[in-house]
C-alpha cells in the first residue's frame, strides 16, 4: 500500500515538473521573440511628458540639443517640461554603442531599418516630437545631380518617412519636427516630397541656413535646418508672436510659392553671419583643447612632406576659426577639417587658409612639424557644441571618434532651432491636438 502511494506521488511530481518546464520554456520563448515597437516603447502615463523619437540618431546630437533647449525654458513652464525618449533609430552599431554610453535610460536605442517602419508602429508611438538628420550624401557638393536623388538608395528611408507622415492619423502626428542636412538639400526632389507632406498635414515651417560661428563657436559648418510645428499646437500667446514670425504655412498650390531661407535668429542669440562678427565674438580654439599633449595625434612626417600637405588648413590655439570637419577627417587632407599648430610663437602669416596662399614646395620650412597634429575626438565634440558630460566608450578608436563627430550635427545650433519651435508651441499640457 505504501509502495503504491509512493508511486502515485512520484508520477504527480513528475507531471508538475513537466508543466513547470513547459511554462518556463514558453516564457523564455516569449522573452526571446522579436519585440514589436509597441512592446519596446509603451506609452507614458503622464500626458505632459514631451515624448520624442530621434531618427538617424547617430551619437545623439538631437537628444542633447533637445535637453539643452528645454534647460533654457524650464524656469518658464509649469508643470516642468519632462523629455521622454520613445526610441532612437540608426543603422550603425557603433553609433548605437556611443548613444547608449551617453544616454543610459530604460528606453533603448535600436539598430533597425527606418524604411521597415509601418504606419501602425509609428502611430502607436504618438510621439510629440520628431528629430532627424537624413543621409546627406545624395545632396553634397560631390553629388550635384539633385534630380537623381529620389533614385539614390540612401534616400529611401527619408522618402518612407514622407509617406508615413502623409498617411498617419491626425491625432498621432508629431507636434513638432526638426530636420538638419547639408546646404543644398533644400533644392533636391527629396526635399520637395518632404515639403509637400508638411504642407498637406498643416505644418508651419521655418527654413534656415546657419553655421556655428553665429553662436560664438570657432568652426565653420554651414547647414540647412528646419523646424515644423503642427497648426493645432501653435501658441496663441503674445509672447510667442515674435517667434511665430519665423514660421509660415506654405501653399504649394501656388506656383510662385518659393522657399524662404532665413539666416539668423537674433532673439535667441543666433547672430547675423559676418566675418568681422565671427572673429570678434567667437571663443579661441584654446578653449576647446584637451589638457593632454595628444602627441599620438601628430601628422605623419611622410604626409607633411608630400605635396598634398599644402591643402591642410592650419590653425593655432589663438585662432577664432576652423574649417568644416567631415567624416573623412584624418583620412584625407583637402576640405576635411583644420589641423592644429600648437606652437606658442606661431605667426599669423603662416596660418592663412590654403585657398588664399600660393603653392610653394618649401612652404612648410618655417614650421616645427612636431607641433602639427589632428584635433582629438573630444576636442571636435566641444567645437560641435556637445556638453562636457558627453564621452566616448573606451572601445571607440580615435579614428572612429573623428568619423562619428564629422557625421554629427552642431548641438548648439540645433538647440536654437528646437528652442524656436518650443517657443512657438503651447506647452502647458492643454494642447489643441485632436484627441485619439
The pLDDT of residue 405 is above 80: yes
Alpha-carbon distance 285 to 410, whole Å? 16
What phi and psi, each to the nearest 5 degrees, are found at residue 198? -65, -40
Where in the sequence numbering do the catalytic residues fall? 136
Give CATH superfamily name and number for 285-409: DNA Methylase, subunit A, domain 2 (3.90.120.10)
Q: What is the pTM of this model?
A: 0.84
Q: What DSSP state is assigned to residue 188? A: S
Q: Following DSSP, what letter does each residue of 122-145 receive, concatenated?
A: HHHH--SEEEE----GGGSTT---
Q: Place 360 in a pLDDT band, splitting at 50, 70 and 90.
A: confident
Among 144, 272, 150, smallest CA distance to 208 is for: 272
CB 328 within 8 A of CB 398: no
Mean pLDDT of 167-194: 96
Alpha-carbon distance 67 to 13, whole Å? 57
Q: Which residue has the cell 508615413?
A: 164
For residue 274, what are the contacts with CB-CB under 8 A and spacing of at least 6?
none
Q: What DSSP state is assigned to residue 152? A: S
Per-residue pLDDT tens over the stretch 47-90: 778 999 999 999 999 999 999 999 998 766 666 778 999 999 99
Alpha-carbon distance 280 to 423, whole Å? 29
Domain positions in the chain are 46-276+412-423, 285-409
CA 432 from chain center: how many Å?
28
Mean pLDDT of 328-341: 94
Contacts 24+ apart (CB under 8 A), 232-238: 232/175, 232/202, 232/431, 232/432, 232/433, 232/434, 233/175, 233/176, 233/425, 233/426, 233/431, 233/432, 233/433, 234/204, 234/424, 234/425, 234/426, 235/423, 235/424, 235/425, 235/426, 235/427, 236/426, 237/426
Grid cell, residue 321, equals: 576659426
Alpha-carbon separation of residue 244 from 138, 226, 249, 271 (angstroms): 31, 14, 11, 18
What percent of the chain lies above the pLDDT cut of 90?
Answer: 62
Phi-psi region of 353 (alpha: psi -120 to 50; beta: other; left: phi over 0): beta
Q: Following DSSP, what letter does each residue of 231-276 receive, concatenated?
A: GGGB--SHHHHHHHTT-B---TTSTT----EE--BGGGTBPPP-HH
Quote the pLDDT of residue 152: 62
Per-residue pLDDT tens over the stretch 247-270: 999 877 766 568 899 999 999 999
Side-chain half-sphere CA neighbours of 133 within 13 A: 26
Among 20-24, 43-47, 185-189, 341-345, the least confident range: 20-24
Alpha-carbon distance 282 to 321, whole Å? 8
Which residue(s) pair with 84 in the sheet? 51
Per-residue pLDDT tens over the stretch 110-126: 656 899 999 999 999 99
CB 349 within 8 A of CB 317: no
Grid cell, residue 236, equals: 496663441
The pLDDT of residue 433 is above 50: no
Alpha-carbon distance 131 to 191, whole Å? 16
Tell me which CATH code domain 46-276+412-423 carries. Answer: 3.40.50.150
Amino acid at each position: 500500500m505504501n509502495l503504491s502511494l509512493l508511486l502515485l506521488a512520484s508520477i504527480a511530481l513528475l507531471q508538475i515538473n513537466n508543466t513547470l518546464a513547459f511554462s518556463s520554456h514558453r516564457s523564455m520563448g516569449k522573452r526571446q521573440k522579436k519585440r514589436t515597437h509597441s512592446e519596446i516603447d509603451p506609452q507614458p502615463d503622464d500626458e505632459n511628458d514631451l515624448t520624442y523619437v530621434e531618427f538617424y540618431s547617430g551619437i545623439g546630437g538631437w537628444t542633447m540639443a533637445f535637453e539643452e533647449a528645454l534647460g533654457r525654458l524650464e524656469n518658464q513652464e509649469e508643470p516642468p517640461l519632462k523629455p521622454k525618449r520613445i526610441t532612437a533609430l540608426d543603422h550603425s552599431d557603433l553609433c548605437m554603442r556611443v548613444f547608449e554610453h551617453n544616454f543610459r535610460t530604460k528606453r533603448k536605442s535600436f539598430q533597425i531599418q527606418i524604411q521597415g517602419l509601418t504606419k501602425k508602429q509609428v502611430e502607436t508611438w504618438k510621439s510629440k516630437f520628431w528629430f532627424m538628420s537624413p543621409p546627406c550624401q545624395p545632396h553634397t557638393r560631390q553629388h550635384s545631380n539633385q534630380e537623381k536623388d529620389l533614385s539614390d538608395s540612401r534616400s529611401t528611408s527619408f522618402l518612407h518617412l514622407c509617406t508615413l507622415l502623409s498617411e498617419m492619423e491626425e491625432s498621432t502626428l508629431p507636434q513638432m519636427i526638426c530636420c538638419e542636412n547639408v546646404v543644398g538639400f533644400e533644392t533636391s526632389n527629396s526635399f520637395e516630397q518632404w515639403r509637400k507632406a508638411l504642407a498637406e498635414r498643416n505644418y508651419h515651417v521655418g527654413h534656415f541656413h546657419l553655421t556655428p560661428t553665429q553662436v560664438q563657436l570657432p568652426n565653420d559648418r554651414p547647414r540647412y535646418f528646419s523646424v515644423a510645428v503642427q497648426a493645432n499646437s501653435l501658441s496663441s500667446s503674445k509672447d510667442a508672436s515674435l517667434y511665430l514670425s519665423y514660421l509660415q504655412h506654405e501653399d504649394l498650390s501656388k506656383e510662385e510659392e518659393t522657399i524662404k531661407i532665413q539666416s539668423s535668429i537674433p532673439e535667441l542669440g543666433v547672430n547675423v553671419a559676418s566675418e568681422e562678427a565671427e572673429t570678434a565674438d567667437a571663443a579661441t580654439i584654446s578653449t576647446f583643447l584637451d589638457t593632454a599633449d595628444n602627441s599620438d595625434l601628430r601628422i605623419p612626417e611622410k604626409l607633411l612632406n608630400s605635396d598634398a600637405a599644402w591643402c591642410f588648413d592650419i590653425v593655432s590655439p589663438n585662432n577664432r576659426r576652423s574649417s568644416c570637419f567631415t567624416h573623412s577627417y584624418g583620412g584625407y587632407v583637402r576640405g576635411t577639417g583644420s589641423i592644429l599648430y600648437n606652437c606658442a610663437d606661431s605667426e599669423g602669416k603662416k596660418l592663412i587658409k590654403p585657398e588664399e596662399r600660393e603653392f610653394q614646395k618649401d612652404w612648410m620650412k618655417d614650421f616645427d612639424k612636431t607641433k602639427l597634429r589632428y584635433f582629438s575626438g573630444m576636442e571636435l565634440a566641444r567645437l560641435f557644441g556637445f556638453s562636457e558630460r558627453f564621452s566616448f566608450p573606451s572601445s571607440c578608436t580615435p579614428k572612429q571618434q573623428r568619423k562619428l563627430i564629422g557625421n554629427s550635427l552642431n548641438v548648439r545650433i540645433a538647440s536654437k532651432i528646437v528652442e524656436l519651435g518650443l517657443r512657438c508651441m503651447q506647452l502647458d499640457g492643454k494642447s489643441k491636438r485632436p484627441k485619439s
